[in-house]
C-alpha cells in the first residue's frame, strides 16, 4: 500500500505551494506594503501597528534610518534627511532645479546625469534612497509573513515616463526584490475597487498623491481592466498644496527667501499640518517659530486655503478633460469616479472633481491604502496563487515615443495611450552618399520639437554599407513591455547587414552599475557574492523546470515521442546539475532547456490562441 502524505500545518494543499507575494506603493510621502492573506488584501503593519511608512530616509555616520524616526529628524537634520525622493527619480539635475525655487539638499556637482545628494554617509542617488525604503518594507513583510517574498509588484504613477519607471525598477532590484511588474497606481486602485464591487463599465480614477497627479479612464469587463487613456502631471501633488500654504505664511510672517534650511523645513511641516486640519475645520491657528527665536501667530481660514489651492486643483482638471477625449468617452458615460491619494481628502479637491464629473465620488476605500491593496491582488495572481483568476490588466503608454529626424523634429513611433506590450517599426534612410553611421535619438513626449521632449537616450548605428543617399533602409523597432519599459533596436535591411544597438538608459542604471552596487552592499554585509549568485541560479533553474513540467502536463501531446525524449533529457540534466554547485554548468543547462523546448513553447502558444476563440465560433452558428 502506498503511503499517503499528510500536509503540515500551514502548508498549502495545492500541488504548487503558496508563494508569498506583495504589492508595494512607493509613494512620495508615504509607502506601504500589502499582501493577500486567505483571499483578502491586507496592508502589513510594522511592530507598532503602523501601516504607512513615511518615505523619508536619514543618513547618519553609522546608520541609515527609514520612516517615522527619520521624518521626526527632518527639521533638525535637513541635509541628511531625504524626503519626497520620488520627485527626483529618473530626473536629471537640470529638472530638479526647475522643480521649485529652493531645494532642501546639497546636490553634488557631477558629470553623471544621475543627480547625487551629499550626506554625511557619502553621496547617494535617488535610486539608492528609494531602495532603502523598499528594503525596509521588504524586512517588514518578511517578518510579518514569516518567509521570504517570491515577488513583488511596485506601483508607479501612470504618467511616469520611461526614465522614471526604469529608476523605480532599478531601486527594486537594488533592494534585492524580484519585481514581477511595475503597475500604474490608478490601475491598482481600480483593481482594489473593481474586484470588491464587481463593477462593469467605464470608470475614472483620480489620483492626487503627495507629489504626483494621475487621471486614468478604464473600461471594466468581466475581470479585464482595459485602460483607455491616462494623463497627469508627475510634479503636482499634496507637496504643492503645502508649498502654496508655506508661501502664504512666508508673506504673512515676513520670512525672507534666504531663511535657513531649518526654517524652510519647519514651514513645510506646519503648512502640511494646517492643510490637514482644514480637512474638517473652518479655520486653523498657526504658530510659526522664526530663525531669530521669536514666533509668529496667525490663522488660516478654509476660504483662504481654498483660494490658495484653487489654481492647483484647476491644473488637475485639464488632464481629466484630455483623458476623457483621448478615451473617446463623455462625462455622462463615466459610471464611477474613484478617488485615490491622501490629497483627495482635501474637501475642495472633492468638490471640484465631483463638479467636473457631475457625480458623487467613490471614497469608501482608504485613499492611502487602496493602491497597495490593488498591487497585492495583482502580485498574488502573477506569482500563480490564483490559477483560475479572471483578472487581466491591459495598460497603456502614457506618453508618445519617437525619434529625432532632420531639423530637430520628433517623429512619433508609438503614440500615447497605446496598449502595451507593443512593438512598432519605422523605416529611415541615409541623407548622404556613403553615409556609414546614423545617430538615433529616442524621445518621449507630445511636442513636435526635440527640445520640448524628454530625451531617453542617444546611440549610433555603425557599419552601414556604403550606398547612395536614400538607398539604405534602416528599420528602427520600438518595443514597450508590460512594465511600460522601452527597448529600441535598429538594423539596416537592404544589405542584410545587421547592426543592433541597445538603449543606454539616461537616468536609470545599467545592469553593471546595479551589480556593482549590489556587490558593494553585500560586501558591506560580509555576505558571499558567489554563494548568492549560485542560489539565484538554482532558484531560476527550479522555476524553469517547474514551468516546463506544468506546460508538459497540460500540453504534452503536442510533442511526439522522439521530441519529448529530447526535452526530458535536457530537463533531467538540469535537474541533476541543480543539486551541485557549478554555477556555469547550471546557467548553460538552463539555456539548453530553453532551446530544446522552443518549438514546444511556440506550438503551445499558437494552440492556445486558436483555442481562445474556439468557443466563440461555436456560439455563432
Partner 1 sequence: MAQTRTHFELFELPVSFDVDLSDLSQRYRELQRVVHPDKFVNATDRERLLSVEKAAVINEAYQVLKTPQRRARYMLELQGVSFDDEKDMAVEPAFLMEQIELREALSEVSQMADPIATLNSIMADIKKRIAGVIGGLREGLEQGQLDEVQKNSLKQSIHKMQFLNKLQEEAEYQEENLLDAL
CA angle 511, 517, 521 (to 5 degrees): 140
Please, what is the minimum distance in Å from the beta carbon of residue 184 to partner 1? 13
CA distance 261 to 104: 6
- Pairing status of strand 392-394 against strand 224-233: parallel
Please, what is the minimum distance in Å from the beta carbon of residue 142 to partner 1? 20
The residues annotated with a catalytic role in the active site are 25, 86, 185, 207
Cell 549590489 maps to which residue? 518
Cell 518578511 maps to which residue? 142
The residue among 152 and 456 lying less far from partner 1, judged by its C-beta, is 152
The residue among 151 and 341 lying less far from partner 1, judged by its C-beta, is 151
Please, what is the minimum distance in Å from the beta carbon of residue 120 to partner 1? 41
- Classify residue 114 by its DSSP letter: S
The residue among 479 and 581 lying less far from partner 1, judged by its C-beta, is 479
Nearest residue to 386 via CA among 195, 540, 117, 617:
195
Please, what is the minimum distance in Å from the beta carbon of residue 494 to partner 1? 13
The residue among 118 and 603 lying less far from partner 1, judged by its C-beta, is 603
The residue among 74 and 179 lying less far from partner 1, judged by its C-beta, is 179
Nearest residue to 165 via CA among 174, 177, 155:
155
CA angle 379, 593, 477 (to 5 degrees): 65
Nearest residue to 121 via CA among 129, 113, 110:
129
Q: What is the distance in angstroms between the CA of the first residue and the CA of the last residue of the chain?
A: 52
Cβ–Cβ < 8 Å for 176, 134: no
CA distance 481 to 485: 6
Please, what is the minimum distance in Å from the beta carbon of residue 200 to partner 1? 13
CA distance 160 to 297: 40
Please, what is the minimum distance in Å from the beta carbon of residue 314 to partner 1? 9
Query: What SS3 class is residue 436?
Result: coil
Please, what is the minimum distance in Å from the beta carbon of residue 598 to partner 1? 6
Nearest residue to 512 via CA among 163, 172, 174:
174
Which stretches of the chain bind partner 1, using CB under 8 A? 151, 180-181, 221-222, 224, 226, 318, 321-322, 325, 378, 381-384, 392-394, 418-424, 479, 481-482, 543-544, 546-548, 551, 593-594, 597-598, 601-602, 605-606, 608-609, 611-613, 616-617
Helix (H), strand (E) counts: the chain: 15, 26
| 362-385 core/surface letters (b: 16 or more CB in 10 A; e: else) | beebebbbbbbbbbbbbbbbbbbb
The residue among 96 and 331 lying less far from partner 1, judged by its C-beta, is 331
Cβ–Cβ < 8 Å for 329, 202: yes
The residue among 475 and 543 lying less far from partner 1, judged by its C-beta, is 543
Check whether the bond before 421 is cis (ω within 30° of 0): yes
Amino acid at each position: 500500500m502506498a503511503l499517503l502524505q499528510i500536509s503540515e500545518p500551514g502548508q498549502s494543499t495545492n500541488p504548487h505551494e503558496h508563494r508569498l507575494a506583495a504589492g508595494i506603493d512607493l509613494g512620495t510621502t508615504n509607502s506601504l506594503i500589502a499582501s493577500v492573506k486567505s483571499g483578502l488584501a491586507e496592508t502589513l503593519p510594522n511592530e507598532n501597528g503602523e501601516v504607512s511608512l513615511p518615505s523619508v530616509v536619514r543618513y547618519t555616520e553609522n546608520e541609515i534610518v527609514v520612516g517615522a524616526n527619520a521624518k521626526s529628524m527632518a527639521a533638525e537634520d535637513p541635509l541628511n534627511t531625504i524626503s519626497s525622493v520620488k520627485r527626483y527619480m529618473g530626473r536629471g539635475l537640470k529638472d530638479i532645479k526647475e522643480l521649485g525655487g529652493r531645494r532642501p539638499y546639497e546636490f553634488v556637482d557631477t558629470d553623471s546625469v544621475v543627480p547625487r545628494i551629499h550626506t554625511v554617509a557619502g553621496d547617494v542617488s535617488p535610486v539608492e534612497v528609494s531602495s532603502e525604503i523598499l528594503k525596509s518594507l521588504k524586512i517588514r513583510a518578511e517578518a510579518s509573513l514569516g518567509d521570504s517574498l517570491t515577488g513583488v509588484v511596485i506601483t508607479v504613477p501612470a504618467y511616469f515616463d520611461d526614465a522614471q519607471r526604469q529608476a523605480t525598477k532599478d531601486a527594486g532590484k537594488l533592494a534585492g526584490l524580484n519585481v514581477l511588474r511595475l503597475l500604474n497606481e490608478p490601475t491598482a486602485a481600480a483593481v482594489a475597487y473593481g474586484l470588491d464591487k464587481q463593477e462593469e463599465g467605464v470608470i475614472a480614477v483620480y489620483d492626487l498623491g503627495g507629489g504626483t497627479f494621475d487621471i486614468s479612464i478604464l473600461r471594466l469587463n468581466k475581470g479585464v481592466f482595459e485602460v483607455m487613456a491616462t494623463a497627469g502631471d508627475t510634479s503636482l501633488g499634496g507637496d504643492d498644496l503645502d508649498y502654496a500654504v508655506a508661501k502664504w505664511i512666508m508673506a504673512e510672517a515676513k520670512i525672507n527667501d534666504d531663511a535657513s534650511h531649518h526654517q524652510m523645513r519647519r514651514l513645510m511641516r506646519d503648512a502640511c499640518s494646517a492643510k490637514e486640519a482644514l480637512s474638517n475645520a473652518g479655520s486653523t491657528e498657526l504658530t510659526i517659530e522664526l530663525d531669530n527665536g521669536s514666533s509668529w501667530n496667525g490663522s488660516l481660514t478654509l476660504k483662504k486655503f481654498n483660494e490658495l489651492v484653487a489654481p492647483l486643483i484647476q491644473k488637475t482638471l485639464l488632464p481629466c478633460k484630455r483623458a476623457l477625449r483621448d478615451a473617446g468617452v463623455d462625462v455622462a458615460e463615466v459610471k464611477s469616479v474613484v478617488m485615490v491619494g491622501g490629497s483627495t481628502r482635501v474637501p475642495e479637491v472633492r468638490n471640484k472633481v465631483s463638479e467636473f464629473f457631475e457625480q458623487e465620488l467613490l471614497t469608501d476605500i482608504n485613499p492611502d491604502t487602496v493602491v497597495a491593496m490593488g498591487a497585492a491582488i495583482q502580485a498574488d495572481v502573477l506569482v500563480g496563487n490564483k490559477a483560475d483568476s479572471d483578472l487581466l490588466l491591459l495598460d497603456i503608454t502614457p506618453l508618445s515615443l519617437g525619434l529625432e529626424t532632420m531639423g530637430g523634429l520628433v517623429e512619433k513611433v508609438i503614440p500615447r495611450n497605446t496598449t502595451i506590450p507593443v512593438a512598432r517599426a519605422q523605416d529611415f534612410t541615409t541623407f548622404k552618399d556613403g553615409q556609414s553611421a546614423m545617430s538615433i535619438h529616442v524621445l518621449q513626449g507630445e511636442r513636435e520639437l526635440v527640445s520640448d521632449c524628454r530625451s531617453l537616450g542617444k546611440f549610433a548605428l555603425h557599419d552601414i554599407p556604403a550606398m547612395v543617399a536614400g538607398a539604405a533602409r534602416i528599420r528602427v523597432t520600438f518595443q514597450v513591455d508590460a512594465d511600460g519599459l522601452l527597448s529600441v533596436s535598429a538594423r539596416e535591411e537592404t544589405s542584410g547587414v545587421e547592426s543592433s544597438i541597445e538603449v543606454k538608459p539616461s537616468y536609470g542604471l545599467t545592469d553593471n552599475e546595479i551589480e556593482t552596487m549590489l556587490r558593494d552592499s553585500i560586501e558591506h554585509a560580509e555576505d558571499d557574492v558567489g554563494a548568492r549568485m549560485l542560489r539565484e541560479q538554482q532558484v531560476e533553474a527550479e522555476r524553469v523546470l517547474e514551468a516546463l513540467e506544468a506546460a508538459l502536463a497540460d500540453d504534452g501531446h503536442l510533442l511526439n515521442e522522439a521530441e519529448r525524449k529530447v526535452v526530458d533529457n535536457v530537463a533531467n540534466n538540469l535537474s541533476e546539475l541543480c543539486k551541485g554547485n557549478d554555477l556555469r554548468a547550471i546557467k548553460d543547462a538552463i539555456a539548453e532547456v530553453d532551446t530544446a523546448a522552443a518549438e514546444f513553447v511556440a506550438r503551445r502558444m499558437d494552440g492556445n490562441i486558436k483555442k481562445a476563440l474556439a468557443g466563440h465560433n461555436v456560439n455563432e452558428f
